[in-house]
């Protein structure tokens, strides 16, 4: 794909994610159901954090495209490395995890992840923008251009560290409020919850490997250490 076309695509994707993140973070206080958006606000939900992550990723991608267009190749090289690391370790696996896990749990029992009371606050299109469209965007990014993946150990350590930070945030919120971010967590014993978090980490690692596999199948081997 031509650099100018990539720049246009990444710019539009950035604007889209910025708009979606802005929309969900500006839900009027008086419209929010009492059981959600309390301590931690929207920033306790992985879905919202993912929207910000995607906006940052596409912003970095657009910057890399612009630098290439204006022939600032030395600066572009650094930004491209950051773009690829951000996509491989976080943007692709987190988007895939958000989409697959949300709709799996929603189909099983929506009250565990997305209470029906939210239907009157968050329109259907915004729900799909947050939980459905993120996966096609991630797949389109892989098709649009190659991304260099880090060494496996480095990539998994970074992914595991970020996962640990989010789990710590969830546990901190529970310690302060006595309420779980997602009602699903209340169904587990401490040991069961630990097993759930461990299995979630295993799933997101599988999505990391899947993204690397797709990138390699489409573009060939492209790694950096």
* Residue 224 included in any domain: no
Model pTM? 0.91
Average pLDDT rounded to a whole number, residues 14-37: 74
Is the residue at 31 inside a domain? no
Q: pLDDT by residue (tens digit) across 95-105?
A: 999 999 999 99
**195 has a pLDDT exceeding 50:** yes
pLDDT at residue 8 greater than cutoff 60: yes
Contacts of 149 (CB under 8 A, 6+ apart): 84, 88, 155, 212, 215, 222, 223, 224
Average pLDDT rounded to a whole number, residues 185-214: 96
In this prediction, residues 47-52 reach a mean pLDDT of 96
Q: Does residue 200 fall inside a structural domain? A: yes
Higher pLDDT, 115 or 56: 56
In a domain, 29, yes or no: no
Domain that holds residue 64: 3-23+40-219
Average per-residue pLDDT for the chain: 90
Examine residue 153 and state whether it is found in any structural domain, yes or no: yes
pLDDT above 50: residue 10:
yes
35 within domain boundaries: no
Indicate whether 79 belongs to any domain: yes
pLDDT (0 to 100) of residue 188: 94
Question: Is the pLDDT reported for residue 30 higher than 90?
Answer: no
Q: Does any domain span residue 28?
A: no
Res 34 pLDDT > 60: no
Separation CA 169–CA 111 (nearest Å): 22
The residue ranking higher by pLDDT, 159 or 71, is: 159
- Say what percent of the chain tops pLDDT 90: 71
Specify the number of domains making up the chain: 1
Q: 45-79 burial, b if ≥16 CB within 10 A, otherwise e? A: bbbbbbbbbbbbbbbbbbbbbbbbeeeeeeebeeb
pLDDT for 224 equals: 45
CA dist., res. 62 & res. 65, Å (int): 5
Rounded-to-integer distance, Cα 10 and Cα 52, Å: 15
């Amino acid at each position: 794909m031509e650099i100018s076309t990539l720049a246009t695509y990444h710019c539009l994707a950035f604007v889209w994610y910025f708009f979606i993140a802005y929309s969900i973070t500006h839900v009027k206080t008086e419209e929010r159901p009492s059981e959600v958006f309390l301590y931690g606000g929207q920033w306790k939900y992985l879905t919202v954090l993912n929207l910000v992550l995607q906006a940052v990723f596409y912003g970095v991608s657009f910057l890399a495209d612009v630098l290439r267009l204006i022939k600032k190749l030395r600066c572009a090289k650094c930004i491209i490395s950051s773009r690829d690391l951000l996509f491989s370790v976080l943007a692709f696996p987190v988007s895939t995890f958000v989409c697959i896990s949300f709709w799996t749990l929603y189909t099983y029992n929506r009250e565990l992840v997305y209470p029906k009371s939210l239907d009157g606050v968050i329109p259907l299109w915004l729900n799909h923008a947050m939980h459905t469209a993120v996966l096609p965007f991630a797949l389109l990014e892989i098709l649009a251009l190659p991304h260099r993946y880090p060494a496996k150990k480095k990539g998994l350590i970074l992914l595991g560290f970020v996962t640990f930070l989010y789990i710590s945030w969830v546990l901190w919120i529970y310690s302060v409020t006595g309420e779980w971010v997602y009602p699903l967590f209340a169904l587990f014993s401490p040991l069961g919850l630990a097993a759930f978090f461990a299995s979630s980490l295993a799933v997101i690692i599988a999505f990391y490997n899947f993204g690397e596999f797709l990138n390699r199948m489409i573009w060939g081997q492209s790694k950096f250490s």
